[in-house]
Structure 1
Amino acid sequence: MGTTRDRLESILARLTDRAEEERVFLKLYEDAARAAADAADARRKAGVSLGPLDGSIVSIKDLFDVAGEATTAGSIVLRDAPPAASDAEVVRRLRQAGAVIIGKTNMVEFAFSGLGLNPHYGTPGNAVDPERIPGGSSSGAGVSVAEGTSEISIGSDTGGSVRIPASFNGIVGFKPTARRVPTQGVFPLSYSLDSIGPLARTAQDCANADAVMAGEVPQALAPYSLTGLKVGVPRGRLFTETETLVAEAFEASLNLLSKAGANVIDVDIDALLAEMEKVTSPASIASIEAAEIHADWLDAKAELFDPRVRGRIALSASLPAPVYIRMMRRRDALIAAMDERLKAIDTLALPATAVTAPPTVPLLVDDQLYRQTNLLVMRNTMVGNLFDLTAISLPIPGQPRPVGLMLMGRNGYDRKLLEIAASVEKAFAA
């Protein structure tokens, strides 16, 4: 394993070698990271530990405040913004836990897409196939963990922005229940839907980072018996247009769970999904709230935006307030109805994304294909945000391209979901 400093230097050397074409990281903190690594090594040598994150090499998405610098959120709109007065709360907690923060990772401008494209800083190539998209909006986060330039990366998830890059790059991505992890000092996409979550190699690493960020004490995940585990499969509208590779990998994972003793049953949530689609038909919640967040510069700095991002936000800028308020009240009722539906099972299971990572180039030149692909890629993951659930994407082993199995749990049942995920992960590895 070596020292933390040795692992850090190995990563920094890799990044130096490719500095001319770097697209995964937007900023590196070499000096601060070396100091943190040396401190972690000194503690380890003295037999002292701050916990499981002590000495872990962690990257953070470009929307987290770091004291003394502008938070740009993957944009050039904010490059001249005032510097942050202090670290984001989650960054502060990670530092206190001994994390070695190596740098900020690339992202979709203002986190407004699930594909991962960024015209300002370049698009990171998928870690498995650089000709394919990384997934977004936490694009650099997913690639960094998968390629080994971070051990853990912290992203945000508003419609799937942690789970999509995890699925596309073959790693684990965890979305906690919204508001469990503080968003203070995190540039928002949607006040109602944003969650802060980790990407890592294992469910346990995600659980450790999540606990630290939520202000809890990290603990080993207890084994959750798969025998008798009630796994609900929401067949119907979430399974249309699914790539054959994804469908076959998903069915193989269900068969494995069944053989391990799980009780796999169909759960019909289509009526709830249809009603949520109707409720949000005037505009997406994220676009409405983003229109308020960006109101001061949406027109004044229009030429600095990615046109695909600005266009979607601008469409919602004139939506009447009563429409938005009614939308949110109806959403609350649907959240309660979904929670009632999920009481009969332990977890929902479905493909994290309906397709594997598509090639990048066609999406760069075809706006209609971009929009269609973005909607399809986010379709399954956004259920977790709209209905205020907790969710995780696990890589299904043995596939020619990465495929994510998504498990979703009830609001507030984050620990249970992580324990189930760790047991599924173990079954996958057997």
Structure 2
Amino acid sequence: MKALDAATIARSVAAGATRARDVVDASLERIEAGDGAINAFTAVTAERARARADAVDADVAAGRHVGPLAGVPFAAKNLFDVAGLTTVAGSVILADNPPAAADAQCIADLEAAGAVLVGALNMEELAYGFLTDNAHYGRTHNPVDTARTAGGSSGGSGAAVAAGFVPLTLGSDTNGSVRIPAAFCGVVGLKPTYGRISRRGMVLLAPSQDHVGWLANTVDDVAAAWRVSHPSPGALATDGAAPREATIGLAGGYFAELMSRDVRAAVTEAAELLGPTVPVEFPEPDMARAAAYAITSIEASSLRMDDLRRQPERFDPATRDRFLAGALLPAHWYVRAQVFRDWLRARVRELFERVDVVMMPANPFPAPRFGEEEVEIDGAIHPVRPTIGRFTQAVSSLGLPIVCVPVARPGALPVGVQLMGRPDSEPLLLDVARRLEGAVAARNAAAVTAHSA
């Protein structure tokens, strides 16, 4: 079950046709009734949410401006500060910290636009992983099939939207942590241009790759969240302008290999739905993924070195091993990875002289079942964990805006495609994503009609 989209809620609340309090109460009721089976939430801020909803209703009654997200319930990955809550980032290491004194900037931005925070969401420990099988706070189940993972590290963010608890969530993305849950749960995810959205009040994993991002049921809803979250003035200046025809590149080579048959079919059909595409080859994708891994591992271990020394037993052993692996990498690997990153950015700029948007798969296979360690693709066996981020991590160090759009047929497990654009090209990128979203919806509606005829 999916909640109403944020845009519909906001219009109805702003017009006085619906009370924000009723919308929020309904969201809280859905969470209470359904989250026992999903485990998306680690905290529910019911009292705060009701007070905030009442304030929105009072503004509407008084004729005051209420913002473009009026009355929209949302939730935030628990690495973002929420005033009065301890920011645990999926870890018990941070659980002894005092409660946050103020909301993270990205939460404050959404509430300033009229949205209503209803809780904090489960995640991989310290945002380091793709499964949200958290040793401390439990695993988050995929609402599409609760035997399967919701993805990670923003697993609670993807699951809360897919389950219909809220229409909008905040997540973070370092190597795919918004895009993988979006793809696995069948929702939309947006990772904006690096550095354009404030990270004040956010627990970081790898500072040179960490992005704030959003997940929602529709492209319009992630676009609305992006618009109110203080992107650069240059980017905002073009938002809402008449869309132009975009040249779409379809990534081949590495991005057309090592994916399950159902993912391959869905991506191929998505490209056909968008219309003519230009074949493009991404430069050195294996090296790009290796560089992103080295940068993430070394930056992450540096941030957590004191905790690794003082209280290693409080980490999930699997997470601890990832941090320790980063600590063992030589410093010159980091330097070489950053040099390669500069080279890669220059080559990708050249690629974007030929096309406006590049399409590629987001997930190499649908969400795996919990405990599933291997997956068979084209007759070969591959390990699940290292393979999940194959397509997202290879483009993560670029800092480019990427939107993940669900493209699976009705009844199939979710599949997502990534649409990647130039820096600050979110308006054009989101327009292309809307076109794809509309084409997929029309195809799926026709398929349902044909099946029921």
CA shift digits 1:186-235 (9 cap, x unpaired)? 00011010110110111111011112222577997556355xx3211111
Give the alignment partner of residue 418 of structure 1, picking from 430, 437, 442. Answer: 430
* Cα displacement (A) at 1:291: 0.5
Relative to structure 1, the CA distance from residue 19 to residue 265 in structure 2 (aligned partners, 3 Å threshold; closer, same or farther) is closer
Give the alignment partner of residue 395 of structure 1, picking from 396, 399, 406. Answer: 406
**Could you tell me how far apart the structure 2 residues matched to 1:295 and 1:221 are?**
45
Q: Which residue of 2 aligns with 1:373?
A: 384
Q: Which one-letter code corresponds to 2:439 in the other structure?
A: A
Secondary structure class of the residue paired with 2:309: coil
Q: Which residue of 2 aligns with 1:294?
A: 304
* Cα displacement (A) at 1:429: 2.6
* Cα displacement (A) at 1:359: 0.9
Secondary structure class of the residue paired with 2:394: helix
| Paired residues for 1:118-267 under 5 Å | 118-214=134-230, 221=240, 224=243, 229-258=246-275, 263-267=276-280
Asked if 1:346 is matched to 2:360, the reply is no
Secondary structure class of the residue paired with 1:148: coil
What percentage of aligned pairs have identical amino acids? 37
Relative to structure 1, the CA distance from residue 277 to residue 162 in structure 2 (aligned partners, 3 Å threshold; closer, same or farther) is closer
2:161–2:169 Cα contact (<8 Å) kept: yes
1:204–1:220 Cα contact (<8 Å) kept: no
Q: Which residue of 2 aligns with 1:367?
A: none
CA shift digits 1:219-275 (9 cap, x unpaired)? 97556355xx321111111222211111111111122222xxxx2121012x43244
Secondary structure class of the residue paired with 1:81: coil
TM-score (norm 2): 0.86
**Could you tell me how far apart the structure 2 residues matched to 1:272 and 1:315 are?**
24
Structure 1 spans left out of the alignment, 5+ residues: 365-369
Relative to structure 1, the CA distance from residue 24 to residue 219 in structure 2 (aligned partners, 3 Å threshold; closer, same or farther) is farther
Q: Using the TM superposition, name which of 319-328 and 247-256 deviates more.
A: 319-328
1:384–1:391 Cα contact (<8 Å) kept: no
Give the alignment partner of residue 4 of structure 1, picking from 7, 17, 20. Answer: 20
Q: Which residue of 1 aligns with 2:419?
A: 407
Q: Which residue of 2 aligns with 1:56?
A: 72
Give the alignment partner of residue 330 of structure 1, picking from 340, 360, 379. Answer: 340
* Cα displacement (A) at 1:335: 1.2
Secondary structure class of the residue paired with 1:161: coil
Structure 2 spans left out of the alignment, 5+ residues: 1-8, 10-17, 375-380, 443-453
Q: Which residue of 1 aligns with 2:447?
A: none
1:138–1:155 Cα contact (<8 Å) kept: yes
Give the alignment partner of residue 303 of structure 1, picking from 302, 306, 313. Answer: 313
1:272–1:338 Cα contact (<8 Å) kept: no
**Could you tell me how far apart the structure 2 residues matched to 1:333 and 1:174 are?**
25
**Structure 1: 4+ residue segments shifted above 6 A:** 216-220
Relative to structure 1, the CA distance from residue 184 to residue 306 in structure 2 (aligned partners, 3 Å threshold; closer, same or farther) is same
* Cα displacement (A) at 1:357: 0.6
Q: Which one-letter code corresponds to 2:167 in the other structure?
A: E
1:243–1:354 Cα contact (<8 Å) kept: yes
Give the alignment partner of residue 329 of structure 2, picking from 303, 311, 319. Answer: 319
Q: Which one-letter code corresponds to 1:247 in the other structure?
A: R
**Could you tell me how far apart the structure 2 residues matched to 1:389 and 1:83 are?**
33
**Could you tell me how far apart the structure 2 residues matched to 1:352 and 1:323 are?**
27
**Could you tell me how far apart the structure 2 residues matched to 1:55 and 1:307 are?**
41
Q: Using the TM superposition, name which of 134-143 and 34-43 deviates more.
A: 34-43
Relative to structure 1, the CA distance from residue 429 to residue 362 in structure 2 (aligned partners, 3 Å threshold; closer, same or farther) is closer
**Could you tell me how far apart the structure 2 residues matched to 1:429 and 1:91 are?**
30
**Could you tell me how far apart the structure 1 residues matched to 2:409 and 2:243 are?**
24
**Could you tell me how far apart the structure 2 residues matched to 1:393 and 1:19 are?**
25
**Could you tell me how far apart the structure 1 residues matched to 2:416 and 2:242 are?**
21
2:294–2:333 Cα contact (<8 Å) kept: no
**Could you tell me how far apart the structure 2 residues matched to 1:359 and 1:415 are?**
36
Relative to structure 1, the CA distance from residue 329 to residue 27 in structure 2 (aligned partners, 3 Å threshold; closer, same or farther) is same
**Could you tell me how far apart the structure 2 residues matched to 1:157 and 1:14 are?**
27
1:224–1:423 Cα contact (<8 Å) kept: no
**Could you tell me how far apart the structure 1 residues matched to 2:226 and 2:419 are?**
17
2:23–2:71 Cα contact (<8 Å) kept: no
1:64–1:88 Cα contact (<8 Å) kept: yes
2:407–2:416 Cα contact (<8 Å) kept: yes
1:211–1:218 Cα contact (<8 Å) kept: no
Relative to structure 1, the CA distance from residue 373 to residue 222 in structure 2 (aligned partners, 3 Å threshold; closer, same or farther) is farther
Q: Which residue of 1 aligns with 2:15?
A: none
Q: Which one-letter code corresponds to 1:238 in the other structure?
A: F
Q: Which one-letter code corresponds to 1:256 in the other structure?
A: L
**Could you tell me how far apart the structure 1 residues matched to 2:305 and 2:243 are?**
47
Relative to structure 1, the CA distance from residue 218 to residue 338 in structure 2 (aligned partners, 3 Å threshold; closer, same or farther) is closer
2:289–2:393 Cα contact (<8 Å) kept: no
Relative to structure 1, the CA distance from residue 196 to residue 294 in structure 2 (aligned partners, 3 Å threshold; closer, same or farther) is same
1:384–1:390 Cα contact (<8 Å) kept: no
Relative to structure 1, the CA distance from residue 12 to residue 250 in structure 2 (aligned partners, 3 Å threshold; closer, same or farther) is same
1:208–1:219 Cα contact (<8 Å) kept: no
